[in-house]
Chain A
Amino acid sequence: MSALIEIADAEKTFTMHLQGGVRLPVVRGVSFDVQPGECVVLAGPSGAGKSSILKMIFGNYRCDSGRIDILHRGARIDLANAEPRQILDIRRATIGYVSQFLRAVPRVSTLDVVAEPLLVTGVPRAEARARAGALLGRLNIAERLWSLPPATFSGGEQQRVNIARGFISNLPILLLDEPTASLDAANREVVVGLIAEKKRDGVAMVAIVHDDEIRARIADRLVDVAAFAAAA
């Protein structure tokens, strides 16, 4: 079995030039790997750098040093040192990301927001929309909302749209930043079910979950981010 994600000595510091160049070390020596079908949960207090690590694995934040090796289209590629077009291809074919908050393109309908990751991989529009509708239904988003852009939805509705968008494609890696944070019990159950299905499909997941009960149910392994604390 070979890891889908292999992180070695990754490091992140922000330099805030507008605040007199103050340096904010976030994490250092980040090293862990994730196997197919495994869900690794990042643990640690608020501000420890959990979301930053997910963003680094997605290529949204830069990595100052170290490696983030991703198994992409059958080959290992170091995302920390990849070209923008390689990162975009990795997002198309390998890594999905459910961010903490939905950042959707304005004025696009919910159904299309969810269908888009399928469309970019060449799935025909009708099929992509049908699958998007099925997933939205499963997440209890009323059909009358599907044609509206999600911008005016409630927090929990937006998060479910975000989850649908992240779970719709069959990508080998999925990153989840507090996917159940603003959901009610019934919808949390749906998400736990979706995660279990992804595991059975061999998807490698890295998740951040604050809820102890949910964490206990989805985590195969915990990685304590406090161990990577970079602050002097």
Chain B
Amino acid sequence: MAESNSATQDNDRPLLVAEGLTKSYGRVLACRDVSFVLYPGEVLAIVGESGSGKSTLLQLLSAQLAPSAGKVSYRMRDGVLRDLNALGEAERRFLFRTDWGYVHQDPAMGLRMAVSAGANVGERLMAVGWNHYGKIRDTASSWLERVEIGLDRIDDAPKTYSGGMRQRLQIARNLVTEPRLVFMDEPTGGLDVSVQARLLDLMRGLVGELGLAAVVVTHDLAVARLLSHRVMVMKGGSVIETGLTDQVLDDPREPYTQLLVSSILPA
């Protein structure tokens, strides 16, 4: 599979470390003093109401946004923990192409809508140095099958796909390089319920099989329960409660978390 996946992984050492992450937009504190550690293979869900700072935090974590204060460090494949803000632009782009995935709520932001599905997936492989056309096409095909997209659609562009298919294609495009860490912002948002369920099953299977670490932003607690090991609850830019997913959902401590939990049907 991905030709770069040879470095040994040490599962007892943090993969991503956030320290005191803060971001303000003028007088709006979108994200306030967030600290946590993510280990390899761990899935962290970030939940909270609209405007609580979830997407801002995800962008800070993935170095798409510079923090007003605090820092994010990531353990590179050579085993060294590096401050993301101290990386050069080229190094950061390399991380995005190889070690990370980013699944947007709107597939149009994560896909090239006018080129074929096969090329959307193959492009990520070429970016990490694959150059054998047959191999690229085979790998792209096998990933399309894995995300349940019929091979008769491989030459069609995603603009001809349904919402659910686009989202599955976006996932294939992200996972084909076997990243170690995937960021997802409302991956099931905007899809209807039966399509969501199928996508969730697929993501749950893939995350487990590949041993991926992931940070998943969702307002849907059922998504958090199914996919994540841990949750962080955000409100007004701050993390107000965090812990093992089933513990936070079954024994919520904070008033706001109790409100969130009580307003959904049990999973």
Contacts and interface: CB of A to CB of B under 8 A. Distances in A.
A18 B262 contact: yes
Interface stretch (B86-94, B125-133, B242-250): B242-250
A62 B262 contact: no
A144 interface: no
B204 interface: yes
A61 B226 contact: no
B197 interface: yes
A113 B195 CA distance: 22
B120 to A, nearest CB: 27
Interface string B12-54: 0000000000000000000000000001001000000000000
Nearest to B243: A84
Interface residues of B, number: 21
Interface residues of A, number: 19
Interface string A1-37: 0000000000000111110000000000000000000
Contact of A85 (B42, B197, B204, B262): B42
Interface string B160-199: 0000000000000000000000000000000000000100
B39 A85 contact: yes
Contacts of B267: 103
B137 interface: no
Contacts of B39: 85
B247 to A, nearest CB: 6
A106 interface: yes
A152 to B, nearest CB: 15
B258 A18 contact: yes
Contacts of B42: 85
A53 to B, nearest CB: 13
A106 B196 CA distance: 12
A107 interface: yes
Interface in A132-146: none
B251 A62 contact: yes
B264 interface: no
Contacts of A87: 244, 247
B150 interface: no
Given A18-B258, A85-B42, A103-B267, A60 B246 contact: yes
B259 interface: yes
A232 interface: no
Nearest to A119: B208
Interface string A186-217: 00000000000000000000000000000000
A88 B244 contact: yes
B155 interface: no
A16 B244 contact: no
Contacts of B243: 62, 84
B197 A107 contact: yes
Contact of B255 (A17, A60, A62): A17
Interface in B229-263: 229-230, 243-244, 246-247, 250-251, 253-255, 258-259, 262
A105 interface: yes
A107 B226 CA distance: 12
A59 interface: yes
B203 to A, nearest CB: 12
B204 to A, nearest CB: 7
B258 A16 contact: yes
Given A60-B251, A84-B229, 15 more contacts: A18-B255, A55-B250, A55-B251, A59-B244, A60-B246, A60-B247, A84-B230, A84-B247, A85-B42, A85-B230, A87-B244, A87-B247, A103-B267, A106-B197, A107-B197
Q: Give the 4 A-B residue pairs with the shortest CB-CB distance, closest first.
A: A17-B255, A84-B244, A61-B251, A84-B230
15 contacts: A17-B258, A17-B259, A18-B259, A55-B250, A61-B250, A84-B229, A85-B42, A85-B229, A87-B244, A88-B229, A88-B244, A105-B204, A106-B197, A106-B201, A107-B197
